[in-house]
Homo-oligomer: A and B are copies of this chain.
Amino acid sequence: MATTSPRGLRTTLPARVYTDPSWFALEMERVFARMWVAVGRADALRGAGAFIRRDLAGASVLIVNGSDGVIRAFHNVCRHRGTQLCSAHDGAFRGSIQCPYHAWTYGLDGQLLAAPQMDEVDGFDRSEHPLRPMACAVWDGHVFINLGDAPEPLASQLGDLPARFAPWRMQDLSLAKRIEYDIATNWKLVVQNYNECLHCPVIHPLLNQMHHYLGAANVPSTGTYCGGAMGFKDGVETLSTDGKRRRAFLPGLSAADRALVNYFAIYPNFLLTLHPDYMMTITIWPVDPGRTRLIAEWHFHPAEMAKPDFVCADAIEFWDRTNREDWAISEQSYQGISSRGYQPGPYSERETQLWEFDQFVLARMRHGDAETPR
């Protein structure tokens, strides 16, 4: 699949990569079901039995905090007749997980504790019917799952990111606000939109007052992430409705870190935006080729949140507005790519990360393996 033109220009991908249901199904298998995907924050799973539910690549998944404080992930499906165990998106189980149909009951660790009428069945052994588990791991407060059979460690996928972002002490931050979006575009267009600011002058009048749109300093892309940092225009202290910072710097940041916003797209579904005084996370949930759900969360330092005069609406409103601008143009982009007149077009030098992301997708689709595109 060509991604350069006869003249050597790097070009966007063919339409079917965005619109074909078969391609999408294979992406779910080879990208989303084999890589570690971010599902939320350990912060949301405080206490034994606390859970969140996520739907991914045809799977419904329960991520549950155990009695032992270990976070585990299971398929949200009873081993008896396949009933979905839990319809809620989050909540807390009280000590065990019971199927609402015939009361098969599982421990928070997934073991089958009770199966009415089954113990008398010849050949039935409770220990063989636990909830089906999947890999689950935590990086600095971010919870990831992996649907694959024998996944590489999360650390392999993350590479140097844990060291890079250690100063932000992300595990200490707490959720202040969640906004969910349901948008009519392909998931990859959300990642691509995040990875360039060429559109900022046209699309984001407010954001464009904060950053210089050509001012990104990107790190070399790897096979599992891309990203970089952008400084502020004069007089701007953080990304908020007026550019003013109303919270202390996150502890641990150097003077240099305090003057930047880091934007990292951690493949396949995690957009991590680190500000001097707060963190925004966006997880991406593909529904079908032309539909994507997004969960955006704003996280602050608990010491700030405990202050009587803590405010965060300035940061949330700034990004909610900016996000919606991005979602709208990403939807319009999908409209064009879906139409007969679309042909791959040329990337500028300012869109190198997009081309690299495209090569990541193509490599995973070819081999199902990680490859570094450079």
Rounded to whole angstroms, the CA-CA distance of A123 and B59 in the bound complex is 45
- Cβ B82 vs Cβ A129 within 8 A: no
Chain B residues positioned under 8 Å from A118 (CB to CB): 346, 348
Chain B residues positioned under 8 Å from A60 (CB to CB): 335-336, 339-341
Residue among B8, B201, B335, B337 making CB contact with A123, cutoff 8 Å: B8
Rounded to whole angstroms, the CA-CA distance of A281 and B60 in the bound complex is 35
Rounded to whole angstroms, the CA-CA distance of A147 and B76 in the bound complex is 40
A339 with B75, Cβ < 8 A, contacts A9-B123, A124-B9, A332-B101 known: yes
- Cβ B101 vs Cβ A333 within 8 A: yes
Residue among B75, B120, B124 making CB contact with A340, cutoff 8 Å: B75
Q: How far is the CB of A342 from chain B (nearest CB, A)?
A: 5
- Cβ A85 vs Cβ B199 within 8 A: no
Q: By the criterion of a CB under 8 Å from any partner CB, how many residues of chain A are at the interface?
A: 64
> Cβ of A117 < 8 Å from any Cβ of B?
yes
- Cβ B132 vs Cβ A343 within 8 A: yes
User: Which A residues form the contact surface with B (CB < 8 A)?
Assistant: 5, 7-9, 12, 15, 33, 55, 57-61, 74-85, 87, 100-103, 116-118, 120-124, 129, 132, 147, 192, 198-199, 201-203, 329, 332-333, 335-337, 339-346, 348-350
Chain B residues positioned under 8 Å from A83 (CB to CB): 329, 332-333, 335-336
Q: How far is the CB of A61 from chain B (nearest CB, A)?
A: 8
Rounded to whole angstroms, the CA-CA distance of A294 and B336 in the bound complex is 23
Rounded to whole angstroms, the CA-CA distance of A350 and B119 in the bound complex is 12
A5, closest chain B residue (CB)? B123
Rounded to whole angstroms, the CA-CA distance of A201 and B75 in the bound complex is 25
Chain B residues positioned under 8 Å from A87 (CB to CB): 332, 335
- Cβ A346 vs Cβ B80 within 8 A: yes
Q: How far is the CB of A171 from chain B (nearest CB, A)?
A: 29
